[in-house]
Amino acid sequence: MVTTKVVRLTPELAKEWKAKNINNFRKLNQSIVARYASEMASGNWQLNGEPIAFYDDDTLANGQHRIEAVIKSGATIETVVVNGIKKDVVIYDAGTNRSLSQYAKASNIMTNASLLSAATFILNDGADNGVGKLEVLNYYRALEEHFGTAYTYACKSADDLSILRKSGCIAAIFCAIMLNTTSEDKLEAFCRIANSGMPFSFYNMEAPIVLRNMMVRHEMGANGRPLIRRCFNATYHAIERFDKQSKSKVRYNVDDDYYKTIIPKAKGVAELYMK
């Protein structure tokens, strides 16, 4: 007999349920556990009707990531629990995970994927710290005006063919705004020049043009998070050089740990706006 009920899942109970996770064909994904745990610890986890399920022999059928997250976070959550599923019924996730953009739309936040990716990158300190989607949305919502300004600058271009719309570039511009790295007029001018259609050889020692050469000629390399880091490092270096009116043919070190220094500083300033 299949039964359904809502249960308060404490860390202690989660440990008991974890012991029932026997012969699970799905490998535990620690990244998912970290993200869920972050949501739980921050109080953003909500009862949404998705059940933790057990077979009729009392072994776990579905929910290992949520169980591990409760243990990891030390939080207590409410969850729907289904008991008594026949052992020959295959349990698997058939649905498609909701993207951050879809969560944003559901929360009436009208924005784009690049901005949300930039916010995620900053909130995660450029790494993969398992920050949950709702945490990112709350962070973005609190600083929406500043992210919007960063995106406006990133799109400054006569022909609207912006190379700075990549999330790493937007994140760097956002940090430059937070840290008051340069004046608004200079920052706007920097973005306009970087996005311009100037020939590569024209003023090729100017910081925005050096950056443009790297971006357009695909010299950034990599993809995914490494590419975001490289875009961030190169863009922030270029903004600083532009502010100092420093001309050089030396390329930026896009693989250094620059983002690890800049992002925490920018987040510290951003917290003042969130209070």
Opening angle at CA 152, ends 150 and 157, nearest 5: 120
Does any domain span residue 13?
Answer: yes
Q: What integer pLDDT is reported at residue 94 of this predicted model? A: 46
Does any domain span residue 96?
Answer: no
Share the mean pLDDT of the chain.
85
Type of residue at 142: A
pLDDT of 272 above 90 = no
Please count the structural domains in the chain: 2
SS3 55: strand
**Domain ends where: 56, 85, 114?**
85
Nearest to 243 by CA among 174, 202, 188: 188
Does any domain span residue 123?
Answer: yes
Q: How confident is the model at residue 73 (pLDDT cuts 50, 70, 90)?
A: very high
Q: What integer pLDDT is reported at residue 66 of this predicted model? A: 93
Judge if 139 and 203 occupy the same domain: yes
Judge if 111 and 75 occupy the same domain: no
pTM for this entry: 0.68
> Over the stretch 203-260, which tens digit does the pLDDT of each residue have?
556 888 888 888 877 677 778 888 999 999 999 999 999 988 877 767 788 888 889 9
Judge if 138 and 262 occupy the same domain: yes
Judge if 64 and 178 occupy the same domain: no
> Over the stretch 90-130, which tens digit does the pLDDT of each residue have?
554 444 466 777 777 767 777 888 999 999 999 998 887 77
Domain that holds residue 15: 3-85
Q: Domain with 7 in it: what CATH number?
A: 3.90.1530
Nearest to 231 by CA among 126, 158, 144, 143: 126
Q: What is the DSSP letter of 31?
A: H
Does any domain span residue 63?
Answer: yes
**Domain ends where: 85, 115, 146?**
85
The top-scoring range by mean pLDDT among 19-23, 110-114, 170-174 is 170-174
> Over the stretch 197-218, which tens digit does the pLDDT of each residue have?
665 554 556 888 888 888 877 6
Judge if 140 and 19 occupy the same domain: no
Nearest to 51 by CA among 103, 97, 102, 91: 91
Instruction: Scan for tokens 């875009």, then name that residue.
Output: 231
Nearest to 246 by CA among 213, 191, 202, 206: 206
Largest CA distance in the chain: 76
Strand order in the sheet with 3-9: 3-9, 77-85, 51-55, 60-62
Judge if 61 and 124 occupy the same domain: no
> In sequence order, what are the residues at sequence separation of 6 or more whose Cβ sits closer than 8 angstroms to the Cβ of residue 142?
273, 274
